[in-house]
Amino acid sequence: MPDEERLIARAVAGETLAFRQIYEQHRSSVARLVYRMLGNRGDLEDVIQEVFVQVYKSLKDFRGQAKFSTWLHRVTVNVVLMHRRAARSRPVFSDEPPAEPVLRSRDIGPDEDTERRERVRAFGRLLGRLADKKRIVFVLHELEGIAPGEIAKIVGAPVLTVRTRLFYARRELEEMLRDEPSLAAMQLSFSKVSGAGGEP
Amino acid sequence: MSDAIDRLVRESRPELGTREARDVNWTEVDRGLFGRIEAERRAERAALKSSKGRLWALVAGGLAAAAAVALIVGKAREPRTMDPVQVVADESAGSVVAIEGDGQLMIDGKPGRVGAELHLGDVLETHGAQATIERPGKLTVVVEQGAKATVARTQGALVLALDRGAVEAQVVPVPSGEAFAVDVGPSRVAVHGTHLRVARTGDHVVVDLTEGVVSLGPAPRIGSTLGSLVTAPAHAEFTATDAEGTLVVSHDALTVRAAASFVPVGPSRASLPALAAAPVKSEPADTRPPSSSGAAPRPDVRSPGSSPGRAATMLAEPDPEAAIVAAVRACVASRPHADNVTVVVTTTVRLELRADGSVQSARFDPPVAPDVNGCASGPIYGTHFTHGGSLSVPVDVRVPSSAP
């Protein structure tokens, strides 16, 4: 029996130590995925905690028919969706900090590394403007590198639907880039970097 | 513009969220997570203890299960169909009707194929695949991947000795006696017509019973198993070396693992021998709620606790808050929903209690579906507390409890 299967079997049998090992092995990747799908830092800890509570509750039902990582992604996606639905129904208080404004071109520092970081942050904000279903498949495919077939298992949708969502997510992101002046300026800086650096 | 997206994706892949993940306050997450897990465990232990108490009360009280007890005790005095002394013919244990997965089924160390007949003493091992065995008209057994089992008896009831892993079976009820049994070390799970799954990890045994009734106890040398009767829905755990002494049972439907979907194995199919070798269609069991095994034949022994109302009532006495949570969960679980959908409900029941502890008013915050509201209102208003005042009971339901 492979190590992972053995570890899962031990956790299912009630060994807290085994569950803790699973948690420690996967918590960083789960945290990153949650952040990418949530699009903000606000409830990150709460959602990570909820993911692993659900893992604990459902681990006994994991039968090894899918890869554990696929199963874990599915649990994570479900918890994030649940959290976002709950968040949408919560009242927004006026003293909550406003969403981070889109960066203006003149705010970008001269340092290339800073520019790149700002681009990544701005891209994260753009992703946050996509509808949940599109953002999730886009994040899983483009950022996590998961194939559409596996994403279909994670989100419980046909592969064709996943591909369609990817297509529209990309198209909407392109439109957002076009329509967003600050990012259009970023686009210019991009071309400059691309020309200088020589993209492979 | 598409190149810009590609570039943004390439830049974001290693970076987006990496720093945020590194900056997570893990001490805080650890404390919250393991605190909640410990609370879950305490609740499970409390529920299991009270269920065990109720089970014995049920048997001692001479309720519906008592009839089955009498039947089993009576059967033990009759000529034994399972007596090994009487076994003279090597009756077939059944045949392999499906092997699913990339791996293989080994029979006595050799690769097994669909259509292979199984006989007494055959050792079955699955590696990266699950095998379905059918005894036409009697039972269908899935030997899950990673399992090892030996055909321990074929005359009359089929007995599999489970060394490791899990088997799940759908058994056609027999008029009397036992139709199928799983031996786990010196203990036996004997089946009278049911849908169950038996899983073994070392000496730890887990039985999930979605239909019917089983006896759990020491494996008898001859005759029927004179152990504890467990009726569906039930999730039971015990140590193989001392089944009765270590047995804990929960009748909360949500603790019971969802049944896999099997093709019916009723008498009509038995009369069509050509179908016996046809592959059994297998669906992902995890996506099915406990009560939705539409293809399963109904056993003649009905579960006394299979309705949501019953589940709620059973849990009401020891802990009124737990009873309310159980009632809502059972009501959500009993709603029809598509196989591939996981229903998640998070709500709080706000209660106003009278001075005598009875429920004066109750509301869901946020509201739940009207049918869940209607279903749960009976058990909620029937709950009695030891105090008055206001109370909030958080409820978190996930049906089915599995993910993929």
| pLDDT of the residue at B338 | 60
Helix boundaries (H) for B212-339? 243-246, 267-270, 308-314, 320-333
Among candidate residues B400, B377, B376, B382, the one with its CA nearest the CA of residue B327: B376
Per mean pLDDT, which range of A114-118, B132-136, B281-285 is the poorest? B281-285
Helix (H) or strand (E) holding B17: none
B284 Cβ neighbours under 8 A, 6+ residues apart: A65, B404
Mean pLDDT of chain B: 70
| pLDDT of the residue at A65 | 73
Question: Which tens digit of pLDDT belongs to each residue from A21-70?
Answer: 999 999 999 999 999 998 777 788 989 999 999 999 888 888 777 788 98
Among candidate residues B27, B28, B46, the one with its CA nearest the CA of residue B38: B46
Mean pLDDT of chain A: 78
Least CB–CB distance from A36: residue in B16, B22, B257: B16
Task: Look at residue B256 and tell me whether its pLDDT is greater than 70.
Answer: yes
Among candidate residues B343, B290, B349, the one with its CA nearest the CA of residue B323: B349
Question: Which tens digit of pLDDT belongs to each residue from A98-134?
Answer: 344 433 444 444 566 777 788 888 888 888 889 999 9
Q: What CA–CA distance (Å, rounded) separates B386 from B187?
A: 41
Strands B148-153 and B158-171 come out as: antiparallel
Which ipTM score applies to this complex? 0.77
SS3 helix, strand, coil % of chain B, rounded to 5?
30, 35, 35
Q: What CA–CA distance (Å, rounded) separates B191 from B182?
A: 8
Mean pLDDT in residue range A187-192: 56
Q: What CA–CA distance (Å, rounded) separates B73 from B59?
A: 13
Mean pLDDT in residue range B318-328: 74
Confidence of residue A143 (pLDDT cuts 50, 70, 90): very high
Task: Look at residue B50 and tell me whether its pLDDT is greater than 50.
Answer: yes
Among candidate residues A48, A129, A128, the one with its CA nearest the CA of residue A83: A48
Confidence of residue B277 (pLDDT cuts 50, 70, 90): very low
- Determine whether the interchain pair A170/B2 forms a contact, defined as Cβ–Cβ distance below 8 Å: yes
Q: What CA–CA distance (Å, rounded) separates B214 from B234?
A: 10
- Determine whether the interchain pair A48/B24 forms a contact, defined as Cβ–Cβ distance below 8 Å: yes
Contact residues on chain A for B36, CB-CB shorter than 8 A: 49, 53
Q: How far apart are the CA of B58 and the nearest CA of chain A, in angstroms?
A: 28
Contact residues on chain A for B344, CB-CB shorter than 8 A: 78, 82
- Put simply, the chain B residues between 278 and 307 with a CB less than 8 A from any chain A CB are 284-286
Mean pLDDT in residue range B137-143: 88
Question: Which tens digit of pLDDT belongs to each residue from B164-211?
Answer: 999 999 887 665 567 788 888 888 888 866 788 899 988 889 999 887
Structure tokens at B90: 């090597």
B375 or B396: which carries more pLDDT confidence?
B396
Among candidate residues B171, B169, B203, B211, the one with its CA nearest the CA of residue B184: B203
pTM for the predicted model, two decimal places? 0.42
Q: Is the Cβ–Cβ distance between A165 and A134 less than 8 Å?
A: yes
Q: What CA–CA distance (Å, rounded) separates A187 from B398?
A: 44
Q: Is the Cβ–Cβ distance between B128 and B102 less than 8 Å?
A: yes
Q: Which residue has the tokens 């139709």?
A: B179
Q: Is the Cβ–Cβ distance between A53 and B46 less than 8 Å?
A: no
B74 or A158: which carries more pLDDT confidence?
A158
- Determine whether the interchain pair A49/B33 forms a contact, defined as Cβ–Cβ distance below 8 Å: yes
Q: How far apart are the CA of B11 and the nearest CA of chain A, in angstroms?
A: 7
Task: Look at residue B347 and tell me whether its pLDDT is greater than 50.
Answer: yes
B56 or B136: which carries more pLDDT confidence?
B136
Confidence of residue B325 (pLDDT cuts 50, 70, 90): confident
- Put simply, the chain A residues between 141 and 160 with a CB less than 8 A from any chain B CB are 142-143, 145, 153-154, 156
Quote the DSSP letter at residue B280. Answer: P
| pLDDT of the residue at B61 | 38
Least CB–CB distance from B11: residue in A13, A29, A119: A119
Task: Look at residue B341 and tell me whether its pLDDT is greater than 60.
Answer: yes
* Torsion angle of C-alpha atoms B168, B172, B178, B183, degrees rounded to 10: -10
Among candidate residues B366, B308, B300, B303, the one with its CA nearest the CA of residue B332: B308
Please check whether residue B201 touches A, CB under 8 A. yes
Task: Look at residue B106 and tell me whether its pLDDT is greater than 50.
Answer: yes
Helix boundaries (H) for chain A? 3-12, 16-38, 44-58, 68-89, 112-129, 132-138, 148-155, 159-179, 181-197
| pLDDT of the residue at B385 | 82
Task: Look at residue B17 and tell me whether its pLDDT is greater than 50.
Answer: yes
Q: What CA–CA distance (Å, rounded) separates B182 from B189?
A: 5
| pLDDT of the residue at A171 | 92
Q: What CA–CA distance (Å, rounded) separates B244 from B55?
A: 12
